[in-house]
Amino acid sequence: MYDVAIIGAGPAGASAAIFTAKAGKRTVMFDSQQSVTRRAWIQNHYGIDDIKGPDMVDRGKQQAARLGAEVVEARVNDIQRSADGFTLLTDGGSYQARAVIFATGLWADLAEHIGLRTKPATEPRIKTVIDVDANGKTNIDGIWAAGTVAGVSVHTIVTAGDGARVAINLLSEMNGTRYVDHDVMPKE
């Protein structure tokens, strides 16, 4: 049983996995390798002069894995409620998790398939997004959403930031106290 299953390993998903894995939560992250970020050449991401999209996506997955997340290159095809959470049915078998974060980018098909409330998007070139509350919660308790599929501006600094924000809200709910992840510079 995983504490958190994340669907999508683009900036939003991998950023969420970095936080949940670093917080000591058993984290599994699935990806079907269709990130549109792979087509980007990013020169407007704070703190990074410029980076090619494929490098950003690969680096994000590696960082999440280094912090303890399990990265599974598989498509999630269905999600069913189970006694203590959810069963995720993927191309690579089924997995159990207590909570789920959708970070599926342009794709809202799985969300609609399992009954998540969606709505027309307002960002350019985006069709449908998942209807979330201010914390990133959907209409199904235990399922959250972040990034492009949650309706935020389609820029890596924003989608990565939203993935982190929603992960922190989920961690705070799981831990019953507001979560903070600060590392301090070692004394010289």
Asked if 52 is part of the footprint of ligand FAD (rule: CB under 6 A), the reply reads no
Q: What are phi and psi of 187, to 5 degrees?
A: -65, 140
Asked if 154 is part of the footprint of ligand FAD (rule: CB under 6 A), the reply reads yes
Q: What are phi and psi of 23, to 5 degrees?
A: -85, 0
- Using CB under 6 A, pick the residue from 85, 136, 147, 151 that binds ligand FAD: 147
Q: How far is CA 152 from the centre of its chain?
A: 13
**Range list of H helices, the chain:** 11-22, 53-66, 109-113, 156-175
Write down the least CB distance from residue 179 to ligand FAD, Å. Answer: 21
Q: Are 130 and 102 in contact (CB under 8 A)?
A: yes
Q: How far is CA 126 from CA 23, 75, 107, 110, 164, in A?
A: 32, 21, 9, 16, 21
Residues 113-132 that bind ligand FAD (CB under 6 A): none
Site string for ligand FAD, 159-188 (x = CB under 6 A): x-----------------------------
Residues 59-88 that bind ligand FAD (CB under 6 A): 75-76
- Using CB under 6 A, pick the residue from 40, 126, 145, 171 that binds ligand FAD: 40
- Using CB under 6 A, pick the residue from 17, 20, 27, 31 that binds ligand FAD: 31
Asked if 7 is part of the footprint of ligand FAD (rule: CB under 6 A), the reply reads yes
Write down the least CB distance from residue 135 to ligand FAD, Å. Answer: 17
Asked if 8 is part of the footprint of ligand FAD (rule: CB under 6 A), the reply reads yes
Q: Are 62 and 56 in contact (CB under 8 A)?
A: no
Task: Count the residues of the shown chain that bind ligand FAD, applying the rule CB under 6 A.
Answer: 35
Dist CA 168 CA 177 (whole Å): 11
Of 18, 174, 11, 14, nearest to 97 (Cα)? 174
> What residues make contact with ligand FAD under the rule CB under 6 A?
7-13, 30-37, 39-40, 42, 44-45, 53, 75-76, 103-105, 107, 110, 147-148, 154-157, 159
